[in-house]
Amino acid sequence: MRKFYIIIALLTATLGMSAQHFKTSKKADAASLPKPVAKPATNITSNSFTANWEPVEGAEGYAVSVYRRDVAQTSGTYTILDEDFIGITEGSLIEPAGGDVDYLDLSDYTELPGWAGYAFPTFVPSMVAGKIYSPEIDLSHNGGKYKLIITTYCNDGDEILIESHGTGDVVKKTYTAHVENGAQGRSVDEIEFENGCDHLYFSVINITAEPGTADYFDRIQVVQDLNEGDVLYTCVALNDAVDAETEWGDKVSSCHFANVTKRADDVKILYYDIFASAYNIGYDENGKLTYNYAYSDYSDKVKVDLENLTSDISDEDDNQGGNEDENTDPDAPQVVDGKLTLGEWEAQGADDALYDGFNTQNSPIIFTYQHSGSQTIYLPSQLANIKDHTINSITFKCYADAYYTSDYTSSMKLYMQEVDEESFYYNPDSEYYEWFAFEADDPQATLDAQIDFLDATVNGEDVEIRFDLSSNPFTYTGKTLLLTIVNDADTYIDSNELVRFYMVKGNAGDAYRTSVFASDSNDFFWNFDQNHRITTIENEYRWRDAPAIQFEVEKPEANNIHTIENQPTDNAWYNLNGQRVEKPSRGIFIHNGRKVIIK
């Protein structure tokens, strides 16, 4: 927004116009410049890059914004912005600083860039008075509903005016500050709006304060209810004063950002966009001076990876919300309500969805033997939409036709690892396939199973074998996922009974996806330790059909979107330099996470 202020500084004296009228015109006038064409960043380092775009015909300036992208992990109330002006250290309540300029960029004093003060702003440590403008904020979710929580240091009964520049016309609301004991002090008030959009800004001003009395803004918070999966862009760097031409007349089409991670909490993937602006001054048919401020739409966002030093036009899917999941590959199986399901999961006993079940024609567990083990391969193409997700549980499903087994008990172990191969290794020397090596002493999860197959058979219900990984979650990074399952039972079901698992059907010619072993006398580890061979004797078999599976997953952690919650305190007092104070006297101090003024 700084470009607007440069224009204002040059024109307001000549035109006799208010600075606010110019700022408001950004929202009021229709876009009339072409949308800039953004280009990938160059000169990328671990904390800097150069933003690039194609010059826009007719533009006189550009504003370039850099964002951090966050995804709400759960539905709830989130703090979108929290500014306490802690960077302001000048002035005092007796002798405030400032008051000598009509406009001041406050970005050097605030957590995020884009804050500004009008109407000759004045300052005391960690507070500001005047007409205060917020940065542009993404408040496009929750139907545009959001809440401001404003802490003022003022007189009881002062009137505070808020102007919200979002969807539609400017929404103005006024509230009355209430100070305890009816004197001068702090008032905390909540005000709700419903005109949020992706580039909203607002202003606040005390409109009734008397000269020489306190009319300061101490803290301004913005909160909004978000749904799981909602995407939020937060501006962490800004240059809104990029001239469209150099003093020699050359077109400007780039802008360099240094130390760009300073306000991004060291996030290494950032985004930027650009809009163009222009203004003209003229006279109408009556000879009255006129002006017009034109601006373009925002460009497409560009993604900048400061870790891998790459950049491309962003293809992020930001139309998320509710229970929708962040599926990045439309051709791969989709995550629905936090679960990825592969195979015939809802076939309810259909023969063509189940393994044969006879002898060892089953996977991942053979219930007709006391000991069994299996290894199964799930391909990256099947798991593309859970890349970088945390797996919190894994479930297999089987169909029972077992009228004599009501008390099956066993100990099951699940091992998980990612491998480079997409099929079992065939050793040409031995002419055998081989098991994958795995850490036998380090299972991902264990399960003490107690299953009533009789009850499931009588009721026609499927039986689910669920491994809970919540205490030891597995983060999937995108390679082939290998699951090893070992089952050691106290008994076995009768060979005349069938318990069959549902399948992910393979095709003729596919590589083998699962291999199984079963025995009443030897366990899987004994077999594995022989020579790693997968034979077709000793009850070892290979199948192109993998067992159907359901993953319960959690998206990657968002970067610095925080829910509102009570923070623990140590009840100590600190000065504005962070030093502990045993006996605070006059001045401004931090106590229980809040600023306190002692007179």
Here the CATH number for the domain that contains residue 209 is 2.60.120
Q: For residue 293, what pLDDT is reported?
A: 72
Cα separation, 495 vs 249, in Å, equals 88
Instruction: Give yes or no: residues 593 and 472 share one domain.
Output: no
On the question of pLDDT at 25 being above 50, the answer is no
Residue 326 in any domain: the answer is no
- Among residues 321, 352, 379, the one where a domain terminates is 321
More reliable by pLDDT, 163 or 598: 163
In a domain, 215, yes or no: yes
| 486, 543: one domain | yes
Beta strands in 353-407 (DSSP E): 371-378, 390-401
In this prediction, residue 524 carries a pLDDT of 87
Task: pLDDT band for 31, please (50, 70, 90 cuts).
Answer: very low
In 57-183, DSSP assigns E strands to: 61-71, 76-83, 97-98, 103-105, 116-124, 127-133, 146-155, 159-165, 171-176
Whether 84 and 143 map to the same domain: the answer is yes
> Based on C-alpha coordinates, what's the Rg of the chain?
32
Query: DSSP for 209-277?
Result: PPTTS--EEEEEEEEEEE-TT-EEEEEEEEEEEEESB-TTSPBP-EEEESSTTTTTTT-SEEEEEEEEE
Residue with tokens 């809440």: 147
Same domain, 582 and 504: no
Positive or negative, the Cα torsion across 32, 37, 42, 44? positive
pLDDT digits (tens, 9 = 90+) for 439-468: 888 899 999 999 999 999 898 889 999 999
Same domain, 92 and 196: yes
Same domain, 411 and 548: yes
Whether residue 273 lies inside any domain: the answer is yes
Residues 7 and 59 reside in one and the same domain: yes
- How far apart (Å, rounded) are the C-alpha atoms in residues 88 and 343? 60
Is residue 274 included in any domain, yes or no? yes
Is residue 548 included in any domain, yes or no?
A: yes
Q: What pLDDT digit, counting tens, does each position of 353-402 carry?
A: 888 877 678 899 999 899 999 999 999 999 999 998 999 999 999 998 88
pTM, 2 dp: 0.55
Residues 427, 341 share a domain: yes
- For 184, the domain range is 76-219
Mean pLDDT of 307-314: 89
Q: Are residues 261 and 210 in the same domain?
A: no
CA distance 235 to 224: 17
Mean pLDDT (whole number) for 150-175: 94
Residues 401 and 479 in one domain: yes
Residues 359 and 480 in one domain: yes
Q: Between 457 and 19, where is the model more confident?
A: 457
pLDDT, residue 598, reads 54
Domain count, the chain: 4
Q: Considering the domain boundaries, does residue 114 fall inside one?
A: yes
pLDDT at 55 (0 to 100): 95
Q: Is residue 426 assigned to a domain?
A: yes
Asked if the structure places residue 525 within a domain, the reply is yes
- Give the model's confidence band at 560: pLDDT under 50 very low, under 70 low, under 90 confident, else very high: very low
Q: Which of 321, 351, 378 is the last residue of a domain?
A: 321
Compute the distance between CA of residue 372 and CA of residue 366 in angstroms, rounded to an integer.
6
Domain end (from 197, 219, 241): 219
Residues 268, 429: Cα–Cα separation, whole Å = 48
- Are residue 493 and residue 439 in the same domain, yes or no? yes
- pLDDT digit string, tens, across residues 463-516: 999 999 999 999 999 999 999 999 999 888 887 788 889 999 888 888 889 999
Flag the least confident range among 120-129, 197-206, 296-305, 329-338.
329-338
Residues 6+ apart with CB under 8 A from 355: 361, 362, 363, 500, 501, 503, 543, 545, 547
